[in-house]
Amino acid sequence: MMLGYLGAGALLAALVMGGFSALLSFWSGIRQSATFIQVGRRAFYAAAAMTFLSAVVLEVALLTHDFSLAYVVEHTDLSTPTALVAAAFYGGQEGSLLYWTVILSVLGSASLLASASLGGRVAAYAAGILASILTFFLFVLAVVASPFDVLSVTPPDGLGLNPILRDGGMLIHPPVVLAGFASFAIPFSFACAALLAGRVDAAWITHTRRFALLAWSLQTAGLLLGMWWAYHVLGWGGYWGWDPVENVALMPWLATTAYLHSSQVQERRGRLRLWNFGLVITAFLLVVFGTFIVRSGVVPSVHTFAISAIGPWFFGFLVVCLLFSALLLTLRSNLGVEAKPAPAVSREGAFVLQNLLLLGVVAVVMWGTVLPLVSGMFGVQRVAGASFYERAAGPLLAAILALLAVGPLLPWRHAGRATLRALRWPVAAAIVTLMVLLIAGVRSAPALVAFPLAAAAGATALTEYARAALRKPRSLLRKRRRYGAYLAHLGLVVAVTGVAASHFGQQERDVTLQPGEAVTVAGYSLTYAGSERRQLTDHTEFVAGMRFGDQTLEPSRATYAGLGGQALTHVAISTTPTADLYVVLAGTNPDGSATFRVFVNPLVIFIWAGGAVIILGVLLGNVGERSAATELARRRIPVTLPA
């Protein structure tokens, strides 16, 4: 009970410090008072420290099974393994909000520490905006959805964690996704601060890009881990279902992908300044929108979310952020005036087109997500199935893939004959792939577009490496950012190949087998060896043995007696270099037979491997990359506008 009061007290202290920091930072930014700017920033650090303290308190309460707290009772019980008790910190509504707030306050502090080079006013406004966002979250935590609510009667045991969440993936996927979501606030704050102060220079881009890259990397990892988790745990044979929860995580990622590319146009050519601000702001607004959608239950989802009191608060927050950003962008629209138009066929042109296409995908995903809401207002609700997203976003994704092959070969400013010559390798790769597919008997038009384009994009990245290695081997190390980016492109090509192969080539079969009987799916032969019952501490497992070559796959069903007999299916997956054999035990029958659903999913491992390469490329290209930043700051003359 003491812990409850301590945690609530720490939250309240953080709220007061956060609000103080917000007001003081804005005021001192306007007055340009260096001392008070410093004080405002320190108040932010203090709020961060108090938030962190409350998080420690909640974690201690969970680990010591302090059942006087409603949150501990609702999400754990005495039989929950310790690692999962610790993970329950971000396993529930209130705790996940607290986790989000902690990440926001810690990353926010780090970004403010690093903000000295931006000048006093930008740093002060950024602190003010960050502190305002932090204050909003702390207010929701302290007043609307507190993880420290104390029960009037302390029960002897808790309600426990849903078995589907009792999985290793639970330890890693949610914290990465939530950290990704939280970190989008930092580029947003610095973008708005620079707009408020009327300062748009290379230092802003360098600082914002670093944190946008961090948010993007976390979100990339979070999306991949979510797909991996869904694939290995949920047992429907796929990894992406276009559920609103997935969609809202994808949209800010797409907008930030656009920003990471278009910011180079500003760095190199001084163009697209207002556009870049718009992208950073859009990414954050999409995060707030997504949080509202997901936590308020306004759209039907496979995930049911508690109709909680935080929905209206997030809606209000979204409206405020939207109005504030729109006002800022309108006030500073003079930044968008560009001296001279750029030629269409150039690197800049490719980046702009890529940006437009990515935003097109965002529009498709957004429409699919809000369709039930919009159609519900005018009659019977409609929902968008997977085929809506495939038909509407598919052509846009194909165009992006084509740009991935052409864009890196285009020079800045003007493209000449040399570009056409450089295109011969990607074009050759596409033609060869198309031939191979046609000879192999592939007739699906989308597949005949996707694979050759992926091959072309891969060929482009490889020829860039080859050219550098032959002519200027040292540039591979010197221009780390560039060659890191090509590695990320290669990773994307590998992942896209995996997505396309498993999408177009998935085979599935339902079979009922007696012990000793065999089935063949897509050339893979499986023999049902029989099944056994295993009694474990908190659940019973029914395990079927499936012989595949010299290995035995063990799909199973577990039943948790303590949780009203809830069942949990464990998928068995055998990964070969060309395909995953994915076996689900659908049920057992009185005559001793068992029913299975068997999937053969080609090249799924390419998705995970490609994802890892993307993140590796971003890390190799950017971690410790200091020279480029300082060089940029030296080369660019700051553009200062009258405030």
Partner 1 sequence: MRWGLPAAVVAACVGYLIYSASGGATEYYMTVSELQAHAMAGDVRVAGVVQDDVHRSDGLHVTFTEKDGTASMPVQYTGTLPDIFKPGITVVVEGKLGGDGVFHARTLLAKCPSRFSTQPYVK
Residue reference for tokens 């990773």: 491
Residue reference for tokens 């019973």: 540
> Applying CB under 8 A, which of residues 93, 135, 220, 601 lies at the interface with partner 1?
93
Task: Convert 567-583 into a string of H (helix), E (strand) and C (coil).
Answer: EEEECEEEECCCEEEEE
Residue 377 carries which side chain, given as an amino acid letter? Answer: M
Record the tokens describing residue 69, joined without a space: 């707290």
Residues 588-617 that bind partner 1 (CB under 8 A): 588-589, 593-597
| Cα dihedral 134/136/141/143 (nearest 10) | 140
Q: Which CB atom, from 544 or from 614, has the smaller least distance to partner 1?
A: 544
Indicate whether 282 belongs to the interface with partner 1 (CB under 8 A): no
Indicate whether 540 belongs to the interface with partner 1 (CB under 8 A): no
In DSSP terms, 558 is beta-bridged to 541, 568
Q: Report the nearest approach of partner 1 to the CB of residue 363 (Å).
A: 5
Q: Which CB atom, from 9 or from 300, has the smaller least distance to partner 1?
A: 300
Binding mask 41-70 for partner 1 (x = CB under 8 A): -----------------------------x
Phi and psi, residue 103, nearest 5°: -60, -45
> Applying CB under 8 A, which of residues 6, 373, 427, 586 lies at the interface with partner 1?
586
Q: Which CB atom, from 596 or from 606, has the smaller least distance to partner 1?
A: 596
Q: Give the helix/strand (H/E) hosting 511.
A: strand 507-513
Q: Report the nearest approach of partner 1 to the CB of residue 57 (Å).
A: 20
Do residues 183 and 107 touch, judged by C-beta distance below 8 A? yes
DSSP classification of residue 561: G
Cβ atoms within 10 Å of 559's Cβ, excluding its own: 14
Choose the binding region for partner 1 from 7-15, 193-201, 413-421, 586-594 (rule: CB under 8 A): 586-594
Q: Report the nearest approach of partner 1 to the CB of residue 505 (Å).
A: 20
Q: Which CB atom, from 395 or from 505, has the smaller least distance to partner 1?
A: 395
**Ranges of H-type helices in 76-119:** 82-87, 93-113
Q: Report the nearest approach of partner 1 to the CB of residue 222 (Å).
A: 14
Binding mask 73-92 for partner 1 (x = CB under 8 A): xxx---------------xx
Residues 5-44 that bind partner 1 (CB under 8 A): none
Indicate whether 476 belongs to the interface with partner 1 (CB under 8 A): no
**310 Cβ neighbours under 8 A, 6+ residues apart:** 93, 97, 140, 144, 145, 295, 296
Indicate whether 261 belongs to the interface with partner 1 (CB under 8 A): no
Nearest to 509 by CA among 227, 228, 234, 237: 237
In angstroms, the CA 358 to CA 354 distance is 6
Indicate whether 227 belongs to the interface with partner 1 (CB under 8 A): no
Indicate whether 618 belongs to the interface with partner 1 (CB under 8 A): no
Indicate whether 388 belongs to the interface with partner 1 (CB under 8 A): yes
Indicate whether 384 belongs to the interface with partner 1 (CB under 8 A): yes
Indicate whether 305 belongs to the interface with partner 1 (CB under 8 A): yes
Q: Which CB atom, from 217 or from 346, has the smaller least distance to partner 1?
A: 346
CA separation, residue 218 to residues 74, 180, 249, 430, 528 (Å): 29, 5, 11, 32, 42
Indicate whether 306 belongs to the interface with partner 1 (CB under 8 A): yes
Indicate whether 380 belongs to the interface with partner 1 (CB under 8 A): yes
CA separation, residue 575 to residues 227, 317, 580 (Å): 16, 46, 4
> Applying CB under 8 A, which of residues 584, 605, 607, 618 lies at the interface with partner 1?
584
Do residues 392 and 366 touch, judged by C-beta distance below 8 A? no
Q: Report the nearest approach of partner 1 to the CB of residue 375 (Å).
A: 8
Q: Report the nearest approach of partner 1 to the CB of residue 68 (Å).
A: 12
Residues 500-519 that bind partner 1 (CB under 8 A): 510, 512
In angstroms, the CA 448 to CA 439 distance is 12
Do residues 430 and 452 touch, judged by C-beta distance below 8 A? yes
Binding mask 359-378 for partner 1 (x = CB under 8 A): -x--xx--x---xx------
Question: In 568-606, which positions are buried (b, 16+ CB within 10 angstroms) versus exposed (e)?
Answer: bbbbbbbeeeebbbbbbbeeeeeeebbebbbbbbbbbbb
Indicate whether 303 belongs to the interface with partner 1 (CB under 8 A): yes
In DSSP terms, 525 is beta-bridged to 520
Binding mask 433-472 for partner 1 (x = CB under 8 A): ----------------------------------------
Q: Which CB atom, from 224 or from 585, has the smaller least distance to partner 1?
A: 585
Choose the binding region for partner 1 from 56-64, 479-487, 489-497, 585-593 (rule: CB under 8 A): 585-593
Residues 174-203 that bind partner 1 (CB under 8 A): 174
Number of residues that bind partner 1 (CB under 8 A): 76
Q: Which CB atom, from 46 or from 176, has the smaller least distance to partner 1?
A: 176
Choose the binding region for partner 1 from 40-48, 124-132, 152-160, 493-501 (rule: CB under 8 A): 152-160
Residues 335-364 that bind partner 1 (CB under 8 A): 341-344, 349, 352-353, 356-357, 360, 363-364
Q: Give the helix/strand (H/E) hosting 321.
A: helix 310-331
Indicate whether 431 belongs to the interface with partner 1 (CB under 8 A): no
In angstroms, the CA 209 to CA 190 distance is 10
Q: Report the nearest approach of partner 1 to the CB of residue 330 (Å).
A: 18
Q: Which CB atom, from 471 or from 533, has the smaller least distance to partner 1?
A: 533
Indicate whether 308 belongs to the interface with partner 1 (CB under 8 A): yes
In angstroms, the CA 593 to CA 585 distance is 11
Q: Report the nearest approach of partner 1 to the CB of residue 215 (Å).
A: 22
Indicate whether 172 belongs to the interface with partner 1 (CB under 8 A): no
- Name the CA radius of gyration of the chain, rounded: 27
Q: Report the nearest approach of partner 1 to the CB of residue 104 (Å).
A: 19
In angstroms, the CA 231 to CA 339 distance is 51
Residues 547-576 that bind partner 1 (CB under 8 A): 557, 565-569
Residue reference for tokens 């000295």: 116
DSSP states of 344-371: SSSHHHHHHHHHHHHHHHHHHHHHHHHH
